[in-house]
Structure 1
Amino acid sequence: MQATLEEMQAAASASRRYHPNSDPHHDPHGAGLLPARIYAQLNVAEPDAAALAQARRYLVTQLEATQALPCELPPAGQDMAAWMQARAAQVGVAYEAYLQERRAGAPRQYFSGRAHALNFLLRVAPTKLVDGAWLYSAVKHWRDPVFRPLILTYLEELGDGEVAMNHVSLYRSLLQAHGCEQADWLSQAHYVQGALQLALGWHGDEFIPEMFGFNLGYEQLPLHLLITAYELNELGIDPYYFTLHVTIDNAASGHARKAVDAVLEAAAQWPDREEFLQRMRRGYLLNELGASTLGVIGSFDLDQEVQRVLADKAAFGRMMHSDYCRIGGKTVNQWLERPEGMRDFLAAMEQGKWILRGEPAGHSRFWRLIDAPGGEMFGVFNGYEKQVIREWIETGWDDAPRQPSFRAQARGRQGVAEQPEQPHQEAPSHLDAGLDALVAPLSPACHHLPPGLEATRLFSQCYRTRCIV
């Protein structure tokens, strides 16, 4: 089954808009507007004036780029609710067709194995680790009821201060559980969405319609979210971060519906309704820039990835090996002097029986060196890198045991200690007047840290339970 029409159009337009260079330092926009640089400069507690100015320029260039893109939004604002419902129904029909195909024996559509899935988690991490950032500037407008839907959405992205529900904390934990440290080998395209979210978060006051529009696009439920959650579970990877978004982004009463209502209310209050809707559409189209989900999934190649993993290590290990061991007539140090020659190095290890392809990884001497406690290379490769190597070695092994799903593993666990509940601090009755003081700890770089979580709890309690005027 193919992806929905919307997803294919988004992937195609994103591909036309952004052609990442293999050099991660390549600047497609000129003037130093590298998405990864913007991302790093803004993902701090207090970006400096130069970083904010550069981020504004970057945001303007990206908004200009959306003018060439087709927009699926209906021309009349009053038709948005019907559009949202029809879109959600289309996704539901497509997902049911996917499930029927899987029940009939079709293979996974997205992920060839755990390494592929973990690679996906790494490549989308720059976006997921700033989840909700585009709404940050709305928080300071807590006195204005027009911003209430956006503020409530932001607080829910932050888990209302509960670490177990904070989206950034959830994703960080997911990466850590599988040894997926943040990768420094990602291309600029992988940072575009995160940079845009942060730029909107810090400049939302100037780009209010664009912020409402981006929120409208981001909060709609896509087909790829449902399939991703299903296949991650199959591969033994906790899908909760993704299933949580399936539930809270629902079109009935969740973020998808709130986003539509927020746009209509804000447009009615804006001095020029047509200007608001025009700018809102440009903000909506920002969602189509950068590396698309389907593009990220489709770009994975296990052979190329295992070579990249070894090439990355070569820079650090080329002077660390003794010369007594030779593989294919060369010492390990000699092989590592040419990171671009990892394909030949792997072939030499196969020929020398250091690696036995198509057999359990444990049969290979190279695997035992990197995986067994006490192995001479134990600790060199992280969890993700070892999964890549394992799957590459075991490719073609017909008797490989079936991977139990994450939920099956969870049912089989016994005696897992529950996390003690943290006592909630009651918000003092006078805190309404001090909500402004809690805005800074709710910033994208801070809200998932202990002070930010506490500030979020206090802000949420006051904002939700008191009459804000």
Structure 2
Amino acid sequence: MTALTPLQSRPATLHPVRDAGQVRQCYERLLQGPDDADKHAVAQAFIQSCLEQARALPQETPDEPQALQAWVEAHSAGVARQYADYLERRKSGGPREYFSGKAHALYFLQAVAPTKLVDGAWLYGVLKHWQDHRFDGLLCTYLEELGDGHPAQNHVVIYRKLLAEHGLVDAPDIDDERYLQGAVQLALGYASDEYLPEVIGYNLGYEQLPLHLLISAYELSELDIDPYYFTLHVTIDNASTGHAQKAVQALMQLMPMAADREAFWQRVTLGYRLNDLGQGSRAIIESFDLDREVLDMLERKRPFGQHMHSDYCKFEGKTVNQWLAAPGQLEGFLEAMQNKGWIKRHQDPQDSRFWMLIEGAGAAMFGVFSPYEKQLLHDWIAGDWLHKSERNRPRRSFGTTSEPQTPVDDPDVQSLQQTLRSQSADEQMRTLMPWLSARCHSHPAGLLATRRFIELKSAIR
């Protein structure tokens, strides 16, 4: 893989030091369970800890909020120029600059899933302000993240579908640090009353169109991976009429008129810097090592296969069961299979006997490896051959999918509908709001609740 071309980017991210697994525990606590006082306390404590880390990061935003609109427009223009330069390099025969192969791209989709699966969660707390026109920009952004209650446009539904299409639903454990941004978003959503300026600032940063989104969409399409989730954000985050513009308008609407505006603005800029905590997309892309991922994947599967093979076949004097009997032997096992001709690196994987055991009709090891695990092995075996074969492969086009219908027999849908029938409009709004949380909104009853919330909001106001 070619090195990433140096591009304008944010400064190096800061990595909060926490106990192993602590961030994921916080993420799961905020995502699951009822919206109670304990969840609120967890959110406050986590955000306070993150803000202390963010203070050490440099400020990128202008010194004055009045300069923000010009700053946003300049950022958007800069990203457009860099993307044009990227396209020119590609049209001139340059290789992909992000993803070395399909396995690399799937690794990325899996690694960023904890953030993508709570998309928009930082704005959950603004729902209670639905009658205050000053919150309209933030509220509109949140509802659009939820697809206005339509599954074909709900960002989390789209991403779940993308993961399922490539067998990434039951992914291996993800590094704790990669839950950080998702935990930040969830915590802001539950602590927005105390941290409204920080929510505004985080929203301002997150809704700026990043270069990596454009390049990722382009290269995912080349690798036969539907880029719709990414292209949707390219259009919806635009600086003219999209979420980037609404983020600026929301700030101006909610800036205090008589209170300490400077203190408010400083908190906004600190919230903006929360975006830079943890590993960003570029860092995750660069962290991919195909050899390491193949060995790690095989090591995870080793305990399940160490007694499942017959002893008739030996590699360098050891049976397969003996190779799998203890950790740390798999690199030698792969080398032994290469020496015996069972794996032929840098050739079409179908030339390798090992690959034909796991792929294709009648394969002896059919079902042993998930689609992602097979892609890792395929790309590792193919090596240099992979890039040669891609030159002659037609680029796949992706069409739109039909709108799924909300299942009327879903028990949550039926229960919610029954509850709403006996309530006034104001009571309905209070009933609906929890269904618009990160935990619920992508499910059938959550989608129904979102649509009903929008209907009532328009009718009452």
TM over 0.5: yes
Q: Is the 8 A contact 1:160 1:460 kept in 2?
A: yes
CA distance in 2, matches of 1:144, 1:107: 50
Does the CA-based 8 Å contact 1:45-1:446 persist in structure 2? no
1:218 paired with 2:206, answer yes
Q: Are the equivalent residues in 1 in contact too, given 2:309–2:320 (CA < 8 A)?
A: yes
Does 322-331 or 132-141 show the bigger shift? 322-331
Task: Give 3-state SS (helix, strand or coil) of 2:329's partner.
Answer: helix
- Cα distance in 1 for partners of 2:33, 2:318 equals 50
CA contact (8 A) 1:270 1:276 kept: no
Distance in 1 between the 2:451 and 2:61 partners? 35
Distance in 2 between residues matched to 1:153 and 1:109, nearest whole Å: 31
Match of 2:220 among 212, 232, 247: 232
Q: How many aligned residue pairs are there?
A: 446
2:98 to 107, 110, 118: 110
Instruction: Measure the CA separation in 2 of the matches of 1:186 and 1:235.
Output: 23
1:360 aligns with 2:338: no
Question: C-alpha displacement at 1:2, in angstroms?
Answer: 3.7
Determine whether 1:446 maps to 2:435: no
Deviates more, 1:144-153 or 1:87-96: 144-153
Using the TM superposition, give the Cα deviation of residue 452 of structure 1 relative to its aligned residue in structure 2, in angstroms. 0.3
Q: Which amino acid aligns with 1:381?
A: F
Residue 245 of structure 1 deviates from its aligned partner by 0.2
Matched, 1:405 2:398: no
Percent identity over the alignment is: 48
The residue identity in structure 2 corresponding to 1:82 is: A
Task: Tell me the equivalent position of 1:340.
Answer: 328
**Deviations 1:261-304, CA, capped at 9 Å, x for gaps:** 11121113573222211111111100001111110011111111
Query: 2:393 and 2:292 mapped to 1: Cα distance?
Result: 24
Aligned mate of 1:434, from 414, 421, 428: 428
Say if 2:24 is the partner of 1:36.
yes
- Normalised by the length of structure 2, the TM-score is 0.91
Contact map agreement 1:56 1:203 (CA 8 A) in 2 = yes
**2:270 counterpart of 1:282:** yes
Task: Name the SS for the 2:241 alignment partner.
Answer: coil
Equivalences for 1:31-70 in 2 at 5 Å?
34-46=22-34, 49-70=37-58
Could you list the runs of 5+ residues in structure 1 that have no partner in the other structure? 20-27
Contact conserved, 1:193 with 1:290, CA < 8 A, in 2?
yes
The question of whether the paired residues in 1 share the 8 Å contact of 2:152 and 2:402 is answered with no
User: Separation in 2 of the partners of 1:37 and 1:230?
Assistant: 34
Find 1:176's aligned residue among 159, 164, 171: 164
Give, in angstroms, the shift of residue 49 of structure 1: 4.6
Q: Any idea what SS the aligned residue of 1:339 has?
A: coil
Partner of 2:459: 466
C-alpha separation between the residues in 2 aligned to 1:88 and 1:261?
A: 16
1:50 Cα deviation (Å)? Answer: 4.3
Give the whole-Å Cα distance in 1 for the aligned partners of 2:52 and 2:276. Answer: 13
Aligned to 1:151: 139
Q: Give 2:450's aligned amino acid.
A: T
Paired AA for residue 61 in structure 1 = S
Alignment of 1:53-132 (within 5 A): 53-132=41-120
Tell me which of 440, 443, 449 is aligned to 1:455. 449
Q: Deviations over 1:124-169 (max 9, x none)?
A: 1110011001111111221222222111111000000111100001
Structure 1 pair 270–99 and aligned structure 2 pair: CA distance change class (3 A): farther
Structure 2 partner of 1:197: 185
1:248 equivalent in alignment to 2:242: no
- How far apart, CA to CA, are the structure 2 residues paired with 1:134 and 1:270? 27
Answer with 145-154 or 52-61: which moved more: 52-61
Under a length normalisation based on structure 1, what TM-score does the superposition of the two structures give? 0.89
Instruction: Please point out which of 142, 145, 166 is paired with 2:130.
Output: 142
The 2-side partners of 1:275 and 1:311 are apart by 52
Q: Could you list the per-position Cα deviations for residues 331-369 of structure 1 after superposition, in whole angstroms to 9, with x for gaps in the alignment?
A: 222222333332111101111222121222122221122
Over 3 Å counting, the alpha-carbon distance change for 1:47 and 1:435 in structure 2 is closer
| Letter matched to residue 462 of structure 1 | L
More displaced stretch, 145-154 vs 223-232: 145-154
For structure 2, the residue ranges without an aligned partner over 5 or more in a row are none
